[in-house]
Amino acid sequence: MPPAVAFAAGIASASLCGPALAWVVWLAALVAGGALAVLGRTGWAAGALLIGVAALGALRAAEAPLALDHVRRLPLPTIAYIEGRLAAEPRYWAPDRVRLWVDALRADEAPASGRIQVTAYGVPPALTVGQRIAAPLRLHPATGFRNPGTFDYGEYLAREGIHVIATVRAESITPLDDPPVPWPALVKRQAVAAVGHALPPASAALLGGLLLGERTGLPPDIDEAFRRAGVYHVLAVSGFNVALLAAAVWALCSLARVGRRLAAIVAIVVVIGFALVVGPQPSVLRAAVMAVLVLASVLLERDPSVTNSLALAALAILAVRPGDLFDPGFQLSFAATLGIVVAPLPRGVVLGALGASAAAQLAVLPITLAHFNQLSTVGLIANLGVVPLAGAATVLGLVAVALSLFSEAVAAVAFDAVWPLLLALRGIVALAAAMPGAVVHLPAPPPLAVASYVGGLALLVFRRPLAAAILLAVALGAGAWPLVRPPDARLRVTVLDVGQGDAIVAEMPDGRAILVDAGSGGARRLDAGERVVAPFLWNRGFLRLAGAIVTHDDSDHAGGMPAVRRLLRVDERWTRLDPPATPRAFGGVVVTALPRLATGGRRNDGGLVLRVEVGRVSFLLASDIEAARERELVDAGLPLATTVLKVAHHGSRSSSTAEFVRAVRPAVAVISVGPRNAYGHPDPGVLARLAEAGARIYRTDRDGAVILETDGHTLIVTRWASRRVDRICVDPEAIC
């Protein structure tokens, strides 16, 4: 355990120290440890060597420079004819949409390297892992939404060694060879096909999740119900599945009167084969390594140590894939297992099950809050019904899949026996998810809260209740601080990075917040309201909104709003059809909806335009209005001059006319725009007009979220992607 903890600490600190410092620390620790060991100071020597192990972790996690022929060095974005080899099985998100991981071999006839994540639209040819393909790919840098307190998909891809993403029409993909399908992929395909052939779609997708972790076909309502019920872990292949499989193999070997050592060997082979079929998810690798170690103890006639097995599994995974330390699946799997292992569980079937469930839930609490902002209130009880049903369905499902390899008729009987279990499982999950308050959304805990919480749990295990209570109280206070902290008497406007769309949060000096638009959403779209806006608000300490405003009905503005209204309480809703007739005041900040003028123009011209004022600083949020509406606003003599302009229509050439820009005279212009939009936004002419007017230009595609803070006299602008801060004096008498 100590080496595993030290190695993980080194990985976590890799970003704080360069490789040169890590090498120096490693050499110094090695020399000091050896000298101390020679002198008989074994305790000090062990400490020095653990520091060396931490340095090794930092070296392992250090980002290696990209090769000279890496595809990331191409002048992106670009279109290139790429030849490469599939690094994983194709993953189908829909019949006409598939994700491919391609290891590049050539780019436009030149040697190339680097892994590319390709999204192919349409129906592709038959593909398999290891196959060489060629296609004209539209290449882009791998970036995600860059906002405070939200998931950054670009960082995730970087941990997977992917720095370039691409899109392509599926019919443009040309297979260059036809290798045999590797047996793990073949077994998985046959298992998925057998399940899909024998069961209705929803039940087939559920059984696929239980057996293989394949959840892409799971209906959204069932997926959401498992999350709300706090039992989503049964759909992630982990120690639960591996333990059931190993126990089933052991039982069969016992019935066949096979010796203990031979049974252990058979179980090891089956567990390793199962892990190869399912894939290299952290929870699968952890469970497989631990199972192999426990079974190996039977071969060696030694007592197994679960904690040593857990630590060795972590060390082995992190040595090969150090980025997994930051993966939620890795953290949840190891934390839950460690909680169950170290917690003093009560005796008895029911009490023991409750104790194990409670230990796992307590262990993963800071992780679920940090990554998902979720606290399950029903998971402890729901697991009592879900886990036995999921276990029975898993065992019967494995039997049915195995039988399908020999006889479809016999397998059909087994699948018929699984189906009622799956229906019962869905019923219990739906009931638990429907309970009021089944899930509570809270801010992600700060480091002080996490450290205090872990320390408090450790002291509880070692029976130090008073000290544990103190630390847990500190954890509670630090975790609740975002919800109870007093307002700072400043206006904070954040233009969130939601790609090609708008989502703006205004935090008022009185502690309330309003939301203007919520990014994209809708069928077959990433829901920015659920994935970006809501987590941002939770982590800022907002569980309710004073106002939710939809400027117009386009999906890139309004699509995410239903999710926001579902996940947060909203006091007041404004739309373009019913804006407030008079200005609204929020703790010294005045929000005014500019009048809609009665002329034609395009549909975008009906959007709601807002003016936000505090002291000498003002914001003009121009929605997607175009030239006709801009001209009307100028002709009406409305107060348009402003400090900050949220540029209309993502910088489209049909907006931000010269006349309008002259009337507004912004000191700062913020453009909310997607990095890979197909419209050419922002238009070079718009950028030129804004620059000519003297505006500092900020763009979410380059800067990530743009955060603007003001006390009414000065304006502080933060580009979240680079953490660069600009300070602008608006009041000539203010000291900046």
Query: Does domain 71-181 sit in CATH 2.40.50?
Result: yes
For residue 279, pLDDT beyond 90? no
- Rounded CA gap, 171 and 178, in Å? 17
Q: Domain limits of the chain?
A: 2-61, 71-181, 184-441, 447-484, 491-729
Gyration radius of the chain's alpha carbons: 29
- Rounded CA gap, 124 and 99, in Å? 11
Residue 68 DSSP code: T
For residue 646, pLDDT beyond 70? yes
Tell me, yes or no, if the two domains 71-181 and 491-729 fold the same way.
no
The confidence band for 258, taking pLDDT boundaries of 50, 70 and 90, is: confident
pTM as predicted: 0.91
The confidence band for 287, taking pLDDT boundaries of 50, 70 and 90, is: confident
Superfamily for 491-729?
Ribonuclease Z/Hydroxyacylglutathione hydrolase-like (3.60.15.10)
Tell me if 386 sits within 8 A of 378, measured CB to CB: no
Q: How high is the pLDDT of residue 107? A: 96
Q: How high is the pLDDT of residue 217? A: 81
Q: Indicate the angle between helix axes 349-372 and 328-342, nearest 10 degrees.
A: 150
Strand 115-121 relative to strand 162-169: parallel, antiparallel, unpaired?
parallel
Q: How high is the pLDDT of residue 501? A: 94
432: tokens are 């638990």
pLDDT in tens, 17-69: 888 999 999 999 999 999 999 998 999 999 999 999 999 999 999 888 899 99
- Rounded CA gap, 375 and 370, in Å? 10
Angle value at C-alpha 198, between 196 and 199, nearest 5 degrees: 70
The confidence band for 472, taking pLDDT boundaries of 50, 70 and 90, is: very high
512: tokens are 């309330």
